[in-house]
Structure 1
Amino acid sequence: MSENPSERDLVEVRKAVFRPLRRGNTLEDTVARLVQTVRLGVVAPGASLPPERELAAAYGVSRDTVREAIRELADAGYLEPRRGRYGGTFVADPLPVPADAGHVDSADLDDVLGLRSVLESGSARAAAGRALDAEVRSRLWARHEAALPAGPEEYRRLDTLLHLEIAEAAGISSLVALVAENRARINAWLDTFPLLPRNIEHSGMQHEQIITAILMGQPDAAEDAMRDHLAGSEALLRGFLA
């Protein structure tokens, strides 16, 4: 018997969400893909996700990464792991109600994220290409260290200050205002879904790579590290909002 249009559509959507990940931010990408699976209705509220081993194979990541992503989303109220004979990982029913982000147009999301990539990767490259004095170098490292122990209630503010410090270190007078305006829009969207503790830890490691490359005067490495860093939050934004 042939599939009806809605069934064919669902098959295509399943192919889209259960496919290998392509970026280096495997945890954030796995979280984003699982959220897309829930938001698109590929797995309905109350229904179970495929087993961890199947998800790991589909995404091309380790089972530990899948397990960590499930744990993050369970803590945020999106998934419900169950033990026992009929156990597994189930989509929460009902799903949590996110903070109001308003209507996020995909073209607007593309525009803001594209501008952020240009501004912030360019900031890191420009900062790494300059001869920074001791005061600037000290401020950059201090901003990084201040964000490391931050919890969810403080992290986003301290993360923003670190990125603005990088823009300041680039030595382009109008750049800081542009980065600040762009990040205000990004942060408004980020505030509509949970800040994941493992994502904070991963961001801290990426911040260290960025700052180290800047302080060592390595523009290519600084730009590449910043692009990798931005890709993680972009994956989460697209997963939760797109």
Structure 2
Amino acid sequence: MEHAQEALFRPVRAGNAFEETVERLMQAIRLGVVAPGERLPSERDLATRLGVSRVTVREAIRSLQENNYVESRRGRYGGTFVNDVIPKSAPGKEFGDIHDALTLRKVLETGAAETAAGRSLGPAERRGLRARLEEASTASLVEYRRKDSRLHLAIAEATGSASVTAAVADSRMRVNELLDTIPLLEPNLTHSNAQHERIIASILDGDPAGARLAMAEHLDGTASLLRGFLV
């Protein structure tokens, strides 16, 4: 399995370091590259291989530990070990379904952000985007998914197209069904809120290219988590 580890634990992209680190660790666990009862590479080794900080690795491992995928043991023979029994992924979700849902979402929502940024938004529209951003950034874990959806729909509405808004709403329903089957990870929510701020700032500043790029990076982070936990 040494070559498989080398393939999985390759450098990640900087934009979504935490999310991609979680994805790589989950792939290694689900594919049996690191089998139940076996030890993950050390934090130092993982940080070097993935090209991320040890803090990022530690946050990713802590998130998996909190959701019963791994456990940490102390002592001379300690480390982080894959649990003998790991949570099962939600049934009925095929790779093609997930890929299709995420591809549609990326096409629709990057286009929506770009289009919204290219419009001359009125005062009410600008206030609405800021309000939805504030709601999402201060939402509790219980409320987060709903407030996050409201923000993304507000961006779609800012395109001025009812058809785009309806398409984004339908797409979001599909993605939420997937998101509801994976755990909410606080480092990801913190990162998502920072990305939301960049998206809204680009829209309000009238920067279509920046809005599209910021939205694409944001959606890539969510896609990494879904692939890691479900595929």
TM-score above 0.5: yes
1:177 alignment counterpart: 166
CA contact (8 A) 1:28 1:199 kept: yes
Query: 1:1-242, aligned counterparts within 5 Å?
Result: 10-98=1-89, 101-242=90-231
Supply the AA of the counterpart residue of 2:98.
L
Instruction: Give the CA deviation at 1:151.
Output: 2.3
The answer to whether the 8 Å contact 1:210/1:225 transfers is yes
> Residues of 2 paired with 1:108 and 1:97: CA distance?
18
- The 2-side partners of 1:223 and 1:34 are apart by 29
Structure 2: tracts of 5 or more residues without a match:
none
1:166-222 Cα distance to aligned partner (Å, 9 max, x none): 000011120111111111111111111111011111100000000011001010100
Shift of residue 78 of structure 1? 1.1
TM-score by length of 1: 0.92
Q: Secondary structure at the match of 1:93?
A: coil
Structure 1 residue matching 2:225: 3-state secondary structure: helix
Question: AA paired with 1:19?
Answer: R
Name the Cα RMSD after superposition.
1.3
Instruction: Indicate the percent of aligned positions where both proteins have the same amino acid.
Output: 55
After TM superposition, the score normalised by the length of structure 2 is 0.96
Which has the higher mean CA deviation after the structures are superposed, 157-166 or 12-21? Answer: 12-21
| Residue type of the alignment partner of 1:172 | S
The answer to which of 14-23 and 53-62 deviates more is: 14-23
Structure 2: distance between partners of 1:135 and 1:92: 51
SS in 2 for 1:174: helix
Q: SS at the partner of 1:81?
A: strand
Runs (5+) with no aligned partner, structure 1? 1-9
Render the CA deviation track for 1:205-242: whole Å, top value 9, x for unaligned. 00000001100101010000000100000001111111
User: How many Å apart are 1:108 and its aligned residue?
Assistant: 2.3
Tell me if the contact between 1:23 and 1:29 (Cα under 8 Å) persists in the aligned partners: no
Query: What secondary structure is seen at the aligned counterpart in 1 of 2:162?
Result: coil
Q: Tell me how far apart the structure 2 counterparts of residues 146 and 202 of structure 1 sit (CA, whole Å).
A: 16
CA distance in 1, matches of 2:129, 2:229: 31
Measure, in 1, the Cα distance between the counterparts of 2:221 and 2:13: 12
Q: In structure 1, how many angstroms separate the alpha carbons of the residues matched to 2:95 and 2:113?
A: 27
